[in-house]
């Protein structure tokens, strides 16, 4: 085996600087969320139903979803428009499971374009700072040290996508970057005050911008 040692030591040495910074508390938190979801019997369908129920308000013509691109009406204060066609919401933001927040993005031609400002404000009301962009996606340089996987737990639904967001797992000074594209959504954690690299494609950034001068379609 001695003839292998030199190469194996070289490999070992090359990786010696690689460290996993995630604290064990994050592992416990992830498992708590998982167990809570199991215990509560929460399924993707249930999330969809809850989100849809929250997004729907009564109209005189029957059930109709909330206004386009807006957050769901607060419970107990349903809007009651007397006229007009039913409009569908592009998204909904609801409490739960547990201390988390559930964001649902609906898909399909019947749904309106996402209003990034409305989504950003809805998330902010749930204590989740976000940068929402449509047709482009932004990362910060340097990237946030925390892992997105500790914050967002997505699942696909028949009518869209649900993301359970653990706002408490977001380190202070970070925001959730949400890039909404036709057909998919890209997400990342970004550092406040850091430079942003924004791209309209899946490849290299198309523009390099600073937080104070952000020529992108979206809202900080």
- In the complex with another protein, which residue's Cβ is closer, 50 or 144? 144
* Among positions 163, 164, 169, 196, the unique one binding another protein when judged by CB under 8 A: 163
Q: How far is CA 103 from CA 4, 19, 163, 182, 211, in A?
A: 52, 32, 5, 17, 25
Check binding of 18 to another protein (CB under 8 A): yes
Asked whether position 158 contacts another protein by CB under 8 A, the answer is no
Q: Tell me the two tokens of residue 211.
A: 């937080």
Residue 148 tokens, joined: 């997105």
Compute the least distance from the CB of residue 17 to another protein, in Å. 5
* Distance between CA atoms of residues 170 and 146, nearest Å: 8
Among candidate residues 188, 189, 178, the one with its CA nearest the CA of residue 104? 178
Q: Does 43 bind another protein (CB under 8 A)?
A: no
**Candidate list 20, 39, 80, 158; residue touching another protein; CB under 8 A:** 20
**Under rule CB under 8 A, residue 146 binds another protein:** no
Closer CB to another protein, 73 or 148, in the complex: 148
> How far is Cα 191 from Cα 146, in angstroms, rounded to an integer?
10
Does residue 27 belong to the site contacting another protein (CB under 8 A)? yes
Phi, psi of 7 (to 5 degrees): -65, -45
Under rule CB under 8 A, residue 182 binds another protein? yes
The count of residues in the chain is: 220
Q: Which stretch binds another protein (CB under 8 A): 47-55, 68-76, 124-132, 152-160?
A: 152-160
Q: How far is CA 10 from CA 1, 5, 7, 208, in A?
A: 15, 8, 5, 37
Q: Is the CA virtual torsion 119, 122, 126, 130 positive or negative?
A: positive
Q: Is 36 in the site for another protein (CB under 8 A)?
A: no
Interface with another protein by CB under 8 A: which range of 127-135, 190-198, 199-207, 210-218? 199-207
- Return the number of the residue (66 or 103) whose C-beta is nearest another protein: 103
């Amino acid at each position: 085996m001695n003839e292998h040692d030199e190469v194996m030591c070289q490999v070992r040495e090359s990786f010696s600087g690689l460290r996993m910074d995630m604290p064990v508390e994050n592992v416990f938190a992830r498992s708590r969320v998982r167990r809570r979801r199991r215990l509560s019997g929460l399924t993707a369908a249930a999330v969809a139903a809850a989100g849809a129920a929250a997004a729907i308000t009564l109209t005189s013509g029957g059930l109709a979803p909330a206004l386009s691109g807006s957050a769901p009406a607060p419970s107990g204060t349903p809007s009651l428009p007397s006229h007009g066609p039913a409009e569908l919401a592009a998204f909904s933001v609801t409490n739960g499971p547990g201390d988390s927040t559930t964001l649902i993005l609906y898909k399909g031609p019947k749904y309106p374009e996402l209003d990034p400002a409305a989504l950003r404000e809805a998330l902010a009301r749930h204590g989740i700072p976000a940068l929402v962009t449509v047709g482009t996606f932004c990362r910060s340089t340097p990237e946030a040290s925390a892992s997105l996987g500790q914050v967002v737990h997505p699942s696909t639904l028949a009518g869209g996508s649900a993301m359970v967001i653990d706002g408490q797992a977001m380190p202070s000074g970070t925001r959730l970057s949400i890039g909404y594209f036709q057909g998919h959504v890209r997400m990342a954690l970004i550092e406040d005050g850091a430079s942003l690299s924004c791209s309209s494609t899946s490849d290299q950034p198309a523009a390099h911008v600073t937080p104070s001068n952000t020529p992108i379609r979206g809202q900080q």
